[in-house]
Structure formats: C-alpha cells, structure tokens
Amino acid sequence: MVDRIVRKKRYAVLIVTYGEVEKLTLRNLWPSSRRILKVITSQIVKVPKILVYFIADFRSTKHFINWRLNRYRSGLLSINRAQTGAIAACLRESRDPLFDNVDVDVIDAYYFVPPYLENVLREQQERCDGVVVVPMIPVESAFSCGVACRMIAEQFSENRYSGIRLLNKLWRDPELHTIYLDHLFSALDASMKGSGAGRTGLVLVIHGTLVRDRAGNPPKVFTGLDETRLFFGMMKERIMADPRNLFADVRQGCMNHSAGGEWTSETVQKALAAFREEGIENVVMFPYGFFADNSETEYEARKELTRSGFSRVQYVRCINESEAFACWLASRITGELATLYRIQQLFEEELPAERTINQ
C-alpha cells in the first residue's frame, strides 16, 4: 500500500472592488470608462458598439474636468491595497487549525483598472489549488458581486464549484452592524453632542439601484433592491436603539445613475430636503453601503452635504482601513476557505486509493 503524502494547499484570496484611476489623465480614464459601459451599463441599456467609445470618452472628459477643477484625487486603490494588507495580517495571526493545512496569498484586483480581476483569476487558477473572491461591496447585485460571478463562470467553467468560492451576503451579518455602529459613534464630533447642539439627522449613503426599466417593467437582472432596503432597515433599527444614539431620525441616501429607467427614489438630495422640512439643524453622513471611500462617497455625496446649508455637518468616512473590519472580514474569509478545503477533500476521496496526492 502506498502512503499518501499530504502537502499544504495554497489558496488565493482576491480583495476586489471597482477601481478608479489614481493618476488623473484622460489616457487613464478612457479604458476605465469603456469597461464600465461594457460590464455594467450594458446590462441595463443596449449601447450600440459604435457609441461605446463616444459615450465613454465623453464621460472620461467630464470626470477629468470636474475632478481637476475640484482638485479631487481618488484614494480607492490605495485604500483597497491597505485593506488587502490588513486582511492578510489578520489571517497570518489567526490560530484557526485550517492554516496547519493551508497557505494563503491575499491579493488586490479590480473590475475597471489594472490589475483586472479576470487576469488575476487566470493567473491564480494556474498556481493555486483554489480561490476565494471577496467583492468589497456589502450588498450583492448584478452590478457589484455579479460582475465577479460572470468572470468566475467564464474563467473556471465546470471547475468553479470545486475551485472557487465567492463571499457574499455580508450586509446580513450582525457583527458588521456592530462594527459599523462603533465606527460611526466613535467618529462623531463633540459639536454634534450636548444639549445645545440642536437636533441631528443621519444620512446613510448607499449605491442606488434600478427599480423599473424604461418600459416600466421590473429589471431582468438582479438589482439587490430588496437587500438594499432590508440592510437600511436593520441599520436604522440598530442605530436608533443604541444607547449612544443622538440622531432624531435616520434616512437612506441613494447615489443613483440616470440610465436604464427608474432608480431608487430615496436619494441623498431627498433625505437632506426632508431633514430641512423637519427642522433638523445638523446632519451627519455615513456611506454604509461602501467599504471604501471613492468618487461617489467622498466627492459626490460629500459635496451634497457640504452645500446643504445646515448649521453643522459632518462626513464620517467609510470603514476603510479599520482593524476591526479587516479582522471580521478575515474571519468570514476563513469560513469560505474551510468550506473550499472540505469540498476539495470530498473530491479527492473519490480518487482511486492507490493514487497519491501530488507532492
């Protein structure tokens, strides 16, 4: 009988987000905008190929002018790299027995800027026993983790069930809610507190989603609409019940696009207008629907807050490089790694007994 020699498996964990250009040039913006049209916009609007370059280049030029005039530079990639490093550190410090049998590489990847997710998937499939993909958006939809799903299906084909896992449903985890609350309440300015501060409202910012297509019908793609609303309901309930709460009211603030039909109605602008009508003096904004600050949060949403005209305003940054967040996510990743390891063991047990595992 031949002894079975067991080696440690090597897995890759891909920390994935949309990606925005770091160096603001039209040459960098053009390919990014074209990929957005092909990967995201094309799911809800059929864009003729002849118009893809025209529309994408027009958007690139608009972003270039707006960002240059306002001296905005995206920090999304640097934040995602920092998150990648923090998650890797938490995994290295883990005492989970899984890591007696598994080595893990934690790598950043992006949908719209290099290194592109599909390329990283291809590289890691060749060198690793398995891959865990972690889309850095809490609510899943065809426009967020759905992008990764399509790339996984194309790259892994029939082997995707034994070779890859996709982390999802993060928005439902009570541990994330607790981390969010601690982050929010610890960040509040002293000026927002106290009996003389006045009434304060909170806007929870999230990416909006499509409600009806141009014909008035439900979208044919999975939009995450119900999940978005449930997530807000959970967070509002937790915030209002917290003994640290100082907010008179909490409202959803969606960041919408204009293409494809009717988008979520609970916009940032409507939330701010409702607070004015209610006599709210101060407003705090927290982008809970994003794990990292980007052009939609710290540029577009924050700009709405700055010019809103309330007595006091405060923008609380995304969870970003929070150590508590990184270690929570590392624990969720460990669970997916363990599941992948068990699945592969089951596949290997079906091999003929005389076959040895590769050394």
**For residue range 199-256, what is the model confidence (pLDDT) as tens digits?**
999 999 999 888 988 888 888 888 889 999 999 999 999 999 999 999 999 999 999 8
Residue 299's nearest CA partner among 79, 71, 113, 112 is 71
**For residue range 70-95, what is the model confidence (pLDDT) as tens digits?**
899 999 999 999 999 999 999 999 99
First to last CA, the chain: 17
Highest averaged pLDDT of the listed ranges 38-42, 68-72, 142-146, 210-214? 68-72
**For residue range 97-142, what is the model confidence (pLDDT) as tens digits?**
999 999 999 999 999 999 999 999 999 988 999 999 999 999 998 7
Q: Element (H or E) spanning 30, and its range?
A: helix 26-39
What local confidence, expressed as pLDDT, does residue 354 receive? 42
- The greatest distance separating any two alpha carbons of the chain, rounded to the nearest whole angstrom, comes to 81
pLDDT of 20 strictly over 90:
yes
Residue 112's nearest CA partner among 82, 74, 139 is 74
3-state secondary structure of 217: coil
Res. 47 pLDDT band, cuts 50 70 90: low
Residue 166's nearest CA partner among 121, 127, 222, 232 is 121
DSSP result, 114-161: SSBHHHHHHHHHHH-SEEEEEES-SS--TTTHHHHHHHHHHHHGGGHH
Can you tell me the mean pLDDT for 269-279?
96
